[in-house]
Amino acid sequence: MQSSYDLLRALKNMGYLKTTRDPLWWPRSCTFEVIIGAVLTQQTKWEKVEESLENLKESGLISLEALSRAEVGQIATLIKPSGFYNTKAGRLQILCQNILNEFNTFEMFQNEVTRDWLLEQKGIGMESADAILCYGCRREVFVIDSYTRRLLEAFGYSFESYMQIQSWMQEGIEANFDKITQMYDAEMKLHTIYARFHGKIVEFAKEHIRGKNVNIDTLKKYIEG
């Protein structure tokens, strides 16, 4: 594997993405729910986040304004399936309040928020910030998670930081952008490629990473072929 383009091409040829839940892969992308999901998915499975989101919907607390005004205890109860619910409830509400104070609306937030602003918010690290930017704001940012790190390590790549991995992943895509649009036989925006590429990695990893074992035998064949 010479670049991230080789990985993208191989995963696509293997049939990923397999889900059709959203054009950008993250459920209900480009909506406020991405922010909620990015906070709740920390240290838990997405299926648990879906349960929490459904609880919030049923209680009418799925909007920026509603969450900023709700009782923290009520939020905590509703998001209990996601774990660490007291901590997440407090951080989610403060984030909502800060968004309203700084940007007034979610639409303004989408257009104007910066990565630095997100990283200043309690409980928002680099992965969460980039997930919000990519899936919530259509920004040209590739999300790096533990699956991506482990997959690259299995191919012998070692990086010192999150930003180094991100740069390597993005460089391979940007350098081969024309090939990728030909591969999809459609006009593709860079943020869409990043979003779906990350989804491909997650889907592959859930099927081929078990504990410390990372099975890349089939993936290698597609890359070499």
Residue 41: Cβ within 10 Å count: 21
**Separation of CA 123 from chain center:** 15
For position 20, what pLDDT does the model report? 81
The sign of the CA dihedral 90, 95, 97, 98 is positive
Q: Structurally, what CATH architecture does the domain formed by 33-137 represent?
A: Orthogonal Bundle (1.10)
Helices (H), the chain: 4-13, 33-40, 46-58, 64-69, 72-78, 85-103, 106-112, 115-119, 126-131, 137, 146-154, 162-175, 177-184, 190-208, 217-224
Which residue, among 190, 209, 188, 94, has the nearest Cα to 146 in the 3D structure? 209
- C-alpha 132/C-alpha 150 separation (Å) is 22
For position 206, what pLDDT does the model report? 94
* 96-104 long-range contacts, CB within 8 A, separation 24+: 96/35, 96/64, 96/65, 96/67, 96/68, 97/68, 99/35, 99/64, 100/64, 100/65, 100/68
pTM over 0.85: yes
Q: Write out the chain's pLDDT in tens, 225 residues.
A: 999 999 999 999 999 999 888 999 999 999 999 999 999 999 999 999 999 999 999 999 999 999 999 999 999 999 999 999 999 999 999 999 999 999 999 999 999 999 999 999 999 999 999 999 999 999 999 999 999 999 999 999 999 999 999 999 999 999 999 999 999 888 889 999 999 999 999 999 999 999 889 999 999 999 987
CATH T-level assignment (fold) for domain 4-21+142-224: Endonuclease Iii, domain 2 (1.10.1670)
Residue 49 burial by Cβ neighbours in a 10 Å radius (0-12, 13-18, 19+): buried
Contact by Cβ (8 Å): 195, 24: yes
Identity of the residue numbered 20: T
Q: Does a cis peptide bond (omega within 30 degrees of 0) precede residue 17?
A: yes
Residue-range domain boundaries for the chain = 4-21+142-224, 33-137
> What single DSSP character describes residue 80?
G
- C-alpha 69/C-alpha 197 separation (Å) is 36
HSE, side-chain direction, 13 A CA sphere, residue 147: 16
Residue 217: Cβ within 10 Å count: 7
For position 117, what pLDDT does the model report? 98
